[in-house]
Chains A and B, each alone.
Chain A
Amino acid sequence: MKPHSVRRFTAVEIVYHTIQLVLYLILLVSGGMVLLQRLFGVAIADLAVTVNIHRVTGFVLIAFIVQIIVISIFSENFRPLWETFADAFRWFYRDIVWLIKMSGHTFDSRVKLPPSGRFNPGQKLHLLVIYSLLLVYATTGLAMIFVPGALGPWVAHTICFAPSALFLAIHLFLSVVNPPTRKAIKGVVTGYVPLDYAQEHHPLWQKSADPVSHTSHVSLSAVMLATLASAAIVAGATWYVGFDRVKLKIIHIAHNNAREAFLPGMLISAHAKEPDAKQCTSCHDYLNSPPASKCLKCHQEILAVINNNQGYHGTLTGPCRTCHAEHKGLRADITSLDIKVFNHDKTRYALEGKHRGLECKSCHKQLNKNNEPTKTKFIGIAFETCMDCHQNPHLDTKDNHDCLSCHNMDGWTRKQLFFDHVRNCKYKLKGEHIAISCEKCHITTYKENGVKEVKLINIGSACKDCHKDVHDGQMNNACDVCHSENGWKGRHLLFDHNQHSSSKLDALHARVSCNLCHLPDKDKIVRYTPLPRQCDTCHTDIVDFMNGNLPDGNAGADPHAGRVACVDCHTTDVAKQLPHQYAEKCEDCHNPRYYGLYFDWEKSIARGMKSRLSLIKSLEENDNGQRERITAKVNVAEKIGFHNIQLSKRLLEDNSPQP
């Protein structure tokens, strides 16, 4: 036992005080950093880290105090803590006087203070305030975490910072700086204080034989010095940040009632633009989390959906902030929509067919005044009619037409079309009309914005409404006499030369293509006027061959030329005259031996043709045009055939004249 010291605190009290001091300091510093950043934008450390340290430390402090309380119930060693705490509640008249006189005593040490016990009234007041603050801090801090968005706890928690800082500053000043009282610091470190100090400052606790008549508790110079030091730190910080900036900040803070102090982040721009945005209570309650009703006050479309249990929001329960947490920043997307996994079928408009593959923004777009899409809009997209998204490409039909009577969601093309031209239209499609594309008749144009316009009605059902009259009016538009929907020409042609024309065709010409005889005139229009019936009108080349007239001179006429009519050899009543029928024709005029001669000649010409073709094949590419000459000759000989057989024969010989 030290002769000049007296034991003031037990070991438990010392440990308790130290731990609490450390945790309290951490909390105050981290809380101060958060405030500093939010109010002045001064970032000493990362805000999120600071906040997390603050939260963890808060929990640790609460846990620590609860733990000490629980232990103290069962442990005798912890009882002094309760006695100390109980001391703070024992107030006497002299204590009030002490507190009143204290302010005077600070500036004039001649003002005498009443004597105090183990703890003077200032210490008791400090203890009460600290524990009150701790209680408020713990309550509001937990509320901030577990009742998110309630405004009250945030306000209280923030406001408490000011008294805590003040009382801690006074506490530290008195225990560390103030010369008359700093000797007592030994008490919370070693447990003992000097006896004379105890007798001087706590006469009612350590009775002294020789009471000190006058004691000085506060050194004015130390107060001044500390105040000056604080002012210097503030001035330095202001200078460092910039006076104008600090001034502006302070004006801003004052203007916003220091709202930033407990503003966890900026509102998204859409909310920030609202006139009520600066009024926290527009969305928040003081004691409860922000209620959905306050969101839905503005978001009426969601309210309607929820009230009717419709759409995606109608299926959801719980507060709005579950999905739409605010204060994430001006440009944050708080829709929290994952378009990859979102099941659109939970909305009122289940997607079908082609709609399933679309980009969201194809339909969910916000249009500005000029009908230009500006951004994605998910709520309030009209979907009652197709025209809400699509434009009507069909000219002459009303916009309220039932699109789905012809179309489905699987696509626009003809394959997906419900429309059946035979069933749904008075103009029944037949034949080739079935296969052609719709646009052939339903003329498609493009508007300036690229939207198709299709003419659907007033098409007309006469042929000339779609088809150009290639006959130039020769047929008086009686198209169906010759043509059907099954095709224009060939076997589809209904035209029967023997029935519809005054000129009858023999079997030989029955299958001849029309344009071999009926040639187009200078306007490229075929005039179906009667043609001369002489063979040589059309078959001029054969006449030339028979007379031996080749492009480069006469090569000798055939004996039959000019003496025999075409029909003497060519039968007109069969479509394809067979070789033996030709041979019979030879026999008819000459004698039976000519029947065989016909085949002899045919074989000879064929043999000659074959040998020339094989010669052509064997010739080199670069042979000074010999190959071309021989090919030309063979081609002419092939055309001539029996019409000038000696000429054919010569053309197929080695040293024949040039064709």
Chain B
Amino acid sequence: MRHKPIKTRYKNFTWPLFIILFVTSAISGCKGFGHLTRVETVYPKASFCEECHGDVCREWADSPHARAFTSSTFRMATHDYSFTDCLGCHAPEPALLATQAECRAISREEGVTCASCHLEESKMVGPLTPTGILAPHPVKVDENRHRNSQFCGRCHEGTFKEWADAKAEKKHTCQDCHMPPVKRRITQSDKPIPKLIVATEEITQQKKHTFGIYRELPDVEPFHVTVNRDGDVFTLALENNVPHALPTGDFGMRMVTVDISAVQANDEVVLIKRLELMKGLRTAIPPKCSASWSFSLPPGGAKAVRCVLSRSHVNSGEREELYHIEVPII
């Protein structure tokens, strides 16, 4: 018996259907956009966002937020993720879904990911108004939410409290210092269709998602160092102008070392004193406060005193220099 081909039955509908499918798939990049804002078996991952928001995602990928869950320090400090209290901030659900930071069930390895801050009710929330002709995912604009310190304070409780308690005339927010300003389009893509879609976007003032330390605030000197002399005894005073303690942070044995060195006539640097600043040791310098240390110059004298602040690992001695200043000796 001869088999009758099925397609002959739909002969009259084949062409219109093909055209519709082509158009929609071309628009959607062959996938559709629902996955970008839907929390199901597949979480809205940073890699999804990266297809359009490339710069932001690359900045995020180098930031501590991306390593919040997978870093070995965190793994050790929670005894291999067994302390569940910690997980809420290190792999949080979308911030707006819950009143408190709670841990995701899936894709925890992304740590504090895009969705943790920007996903709400199947919409992406942000302070910027879309300027393109088409938004593939639903967007909700909330100008204030991401621009104040309170939003960060959901997780960075201690630091936020320090910031809130700091008596400063003009307080910078977290975002002012830790998210440097940048002018760019909100999306960057090298694929033809997304490129086509965002081509009409305007260049706007934005914030980088590096979440690091922005050292070049134009109007603020974060730390002020003065050196006073009383005979052979020198006193170095370090004033903390940032609106949180130096160092800050509630967990993880955060430590800042202060190296006081003498710069001698032959430009040789001799370490005079190394001081450890830790909150647990009560040596952290609160906001708008200063600490002072006395020292004597090493034999041979010095033409200047150098003060170096470094973020240090509590055991290994690895240091990352944050700030340094030289005060000449008169």
Chain A residues proximal to chain B, CB less than 8 Å: 556-557, 559, 563-564, 589-591, 593, 596-597, 600-601, 604, 646, 649
Q: Please indicate the chain B residues that have their CB under 8 angstroms from the CB of A563 in the complex.
A: 276, 278, 281
Query: A589 to B281, Cβ gap below 8 A?
Result: yes
Tell me which residues across on chain A come within 8 A of B82, comparing CB atoms. Answer: 600, 604
Instruction: Report whether B79 and A557 are in contact in the complex, using a CB–CB cutoff of 8 Å.
Output: no
- CB of A593 within 8 A of CB of B85, answer yes
Tell me whether B314 is interfacial, beta carbon within 8 Å.
yes
Could you show 15 A-B contacts with beta carbons less than 8 Å apart?
A: A559-B253, A564-B280, A564-B281, A589-B281, A589-B282, A590-B251, A593-B85, A593-B251, A596-B85, A597-B85, A600-B79, A600-B83, A601-B79, A646-B76, A649-B76
Q: Which of chain B's residues 67-83 have a Cβ closer than 8 Å to chain A?
A: 76, 79, 82-83
The docked-state distance in angstroms from the alpha carbon of A597 to that of B276 is: 24
Question: Would you list the 8 A-B pairs with minimal beta carbon distance, nearest first?
Answer: A600-B83, A589-B280, A604-B79, A559-B314, A559-B253, A591-B250, A590-B280, A604-B82
Q: A593 contacts which chain B residues (CB < 8 A)?
A: 85, 250-251
B83: chain A residues at CB < 8 Å are: 597, 600, 604
Contacts of B253 in A (CB 8 A): 559
Set of chain B residues within 8 Å of A590, measured between Cβ atoms: 250-251, 279-280
Bound form: Cα–Cα A596–B278 in Å: 21
Q: Determine if B130 is an interface residue (Cβ-Cβ < 8 Å).
A: no
- Contact across chains for A556 and B79 when beta carbons are under 8 A apart: no
B281 close to A591 (CB less than 8 A):
no
Assembly CA distance A649 to B85 (angstroms): 19
Q: How far is the CA of A589 from the CA of B253 in the complex (A)?
A: 11
Please give, as numbers and ranges, the residues of chain B lying within 8 Å of A559 by CB-CB distance: 253, 314-315
Query: In the complex, are the beta carbons of B250 and A556 less than 8 A apart?
Result: no
CB <8 Å contact, A649 and B278: no
Within 8 A of A (CB), among B121-137: none
**Smallest CB separation, B72 vs chain A (Å):** 11
Q: Is B54 an interface residue (CB 8 A)?
A: no
- Interface residue? B158 (CB, 8 A): yes
Taken together as a complex, chains A and B put the C-alpha atoms of A649 and B82 apart, in Å, by: 13
Q: Mark B247-282, 1 if CB is under 8 A from A, else 0.
A: 000110100000000000000000000001011111
B278 cross-chain contacts in A, Cβ below 8 A? 563
Interface hits, B288-328 → A, CB 8 Å = 314-315
Q: Which residue of B lies closest to A649 (CB)?
A: B79
Least CB distance from B113 to A in Å reads 23
Interface centre among A564, A593, A596, A649 (most CB of B within 10 A): A593
Q: Which residues of A contact B85 (CB under 8 A)?
A: 593, 596-597, 600
Residues of B within 8 A of A601 (CB): 79
Q: In the complex, what's the smallest C-beta–C-beta distance from B311 to chain A, in angstroms?
A: 15
Given known contacts A563-B278, A600-B79, is B158 in contact with A591 (CB within 8 Å)?
Answer: yes
Interface size, chain B (Cβ < 8 Å): 17
Q: How far is the CA of A593 from the CA of B279 in the complex (A)?
A: 14
Chain A neighbourhood of B276, CB < 8 A: 563
**Residues of B contacting A596 with CB < 8 Å?**
85
Taken together as a complex, chains A and B put the C-alpha atoms of A601 and B79 apart, in Å, by: 8
Q: A649 contacts which chain B residues (CB < 8 A)?
A: 76, 79
- Please give, as numbers and ranges, the residues of chain A lying within 8 Å of B158 by CB-CB distance: 591
Q: Which residue of B lies closest to A561 (CB)?
A: B315
**What is the bound-complex CA distance between A557 and B250, given in angstroms?**
21
Checking B251, B279, B315 against A557 with a beta-carbon cut-off of 8 angstroms, the contacting residue is B315
Q: Which residues of A contact B280 (CB under 8 A)?
A: 564, 589-590
10 additional A-B residue pairs with CB within 8 Å, beyond A557-B315, A559-B253, A559-B314: A556-B315, A589-B280, A590-B279, A591-B158, A593-B85, A597-B83, A597-B85, A601-B79, A604-B82, A649-B79
- Expressed in whole angstroms, the Cα–Cα distance for A597 and B280 within the complex equals 15
**Distance from A657 Cβ to chain B, minimum over Cβ atoms (Å):** 15
Query: When chains A and B are docked, how far (Å) is the Cα of A557 from the Cα of B315?
Result: 7
Residues of B within 8 A of A600 (CB): 79, 82-83, 85
* CB closest residue in chain A, given B253: A559
Distance in Å: Cβ of A645 to nearest Cβ of chain B: 9
Closest to A560 in B: B280
Q: In the assembled complex, how far is the CB of residue A64 from the closest CB belonging to chain B, in whole angstroms?
A: 131
> How far, in angstroms, from A600 to B85 measured CA to CA in the complex?
9
Q: Which residues of B contact A557 (CB under 8 A)?
A: 315
A556→B79 CA distance, assembly (Å)? 17
B315 — which chain A residues lie within 8 A by C-beta?
556-557, 559
Interface residues of B in 57-116 (CB under 8 A from A): 76, 79, 82-83, 85
- What is the distance, in angstroms, from B295's C-beta to the closest C-beta of chain A? 20
What residues on A are CB-neighbors of B79 within 8 Å? 600-601, 604, 649
Q: Which of B76, B85, B280 has the most CB of A within 10 A?
A: B280
Query: How far apart are the CA atoms of A344 and B315 in the complex, in Å?
Result: 96
Q: Which residues of B contact A646 (CB under 8 A)?
A: 76
* Complex CA distance for A596 and B86, rounded to whole angstroms: 10
Which residue of chain B has the shortest Cβ distance to A558 in the bound complex? B315
- Distance in Å: Cβ of A582 to nearest Cβ of chain B: 15
- Minimum CB–CB distance for B155 against chain A, Å: 12
Residue of A nearest to B278 (CB): A563
Cα of A318 to Cα of B278 in the assembled complex, Å: 119
Instruction: Specify the chain B residue showing the minimal Cβ separation from A603.
Output: B82
Give complex CA distance A556, B317 in Å: 12
Per the bound structure, the CA–CA distance linking A601 and B83 in Å amounts to 8
With both beta carbons as reference points, the residue of chain A lying nearest to B161 in the complex is identified as A591
**Least Cβ distance of B292 to chain A in Å?**
21
CB distance from A655 to the nearest CB of B (A): 13
Q: A567: shortest Cβ distance to chain B, in Å?
A: 14
> In the docked arrangement, what's the CA distance between A597 and B82, Å?
11
Residue in chain A with minimal CB distance to B281: A563
Give the shortest distance, in Å, between B277 (CB) and chain A (any CB). Answer: 11
Q: How far is the CA of A563 from the CA of B83 in the complex (A)?
A: 25
Residue with the greatest number of chain B CB neighbours at <10 A, chosen from A556, A563, A564, A646 = A563
Which of A557, A559, A589, A646 has the most chain B CB within a 10 Å cutoff? A559
Residue of A nearest to B84 (CB): A600
**How distant is B19 from chain A, measured CB to nearest CB, in Å?**
60
CA A563 – CA B315 in complex, angstroms?
A: 11
A residues near B250, Cβ cutoff 8 Å = 590-591, 593
Which residues of chain A are within 8 angstroms of B281 by Cβ–Cβ distance? 563-564, 589
A96 to B280, CA, bound (A): 164
**Nearest chain A CB to B260 CB, angstrom units:** 19
Q: How far is the CB of A590 from chain B (nearest CB, A)?
A: 5
Whose C-beta in chain B lies nearest to the C-beta of A600?
A: B83
CA distance A604 to B79 in the complex (A): 7
A649 to B83 alpha-carbon distance, docked (Å): 14
CA distance A593 to B251 in the complex (A): 9
How long is the Cα–Cα vector from A454 to B224 in the complex, in angstroms?
92
What is the bound-complex CA distance between A604 and B86, given in angstroms?
15
Kindly state the separation between the CA atoms of A604 and B158 in the bound complex, as whole angstroms. Answer: 26
Whole-angstrom CA separation of A83 from B76 in the bound complex: 154
CA distance A601 to B282 in the complex (A): 23
Q: In this complex, what residue of B is CB-closest to A604?
A: B79
Nearest A residue to B316 via CB reads: A556
Bound complex: CA of A649 vs CA of B278, how far in Å? 24
Give the docked Cα–Cα distance between A281 and B158 (Å).
Answer: 135
Chain A residues within an 8 Å CB radius of B76: 646, 649
Chain B residues with Cβ below 8 Å from A597 are 83, 85
Shortest Cβ distance from A605 into chain B, in angstroms? Answer: 9
Q: How far is the CA of A596 from the CA of B251 in the complex (A)?
A: 13
Q: CA of A254 to CA of B273 in the docked complex: distance in angstroms?
A: 139
Find chain B residues with CB under 8 A from A591 CB. Answer: 158, 250
**Alpha-carbon gap, A590 to B253, bound state (A):** 9
| Minimum CB–CB distance for B286 against chain A, Å | 14
Closest B residue to A607 by beta carbon equals B82
| Distance of B119 from chain A, by nearest CB (Å) | 26
CB distance from A390 to the nearest CB of B (A): 80
- Chain B, Cβ-Cβ closest to A556: B315
A256 to B85, CA, bound (A): 130
Q: Which of B217-270 contact A (CB under 8 A)?
A: 250-251, 253
In the bound complex, CA of A617 to CA of B280 (Å): 41
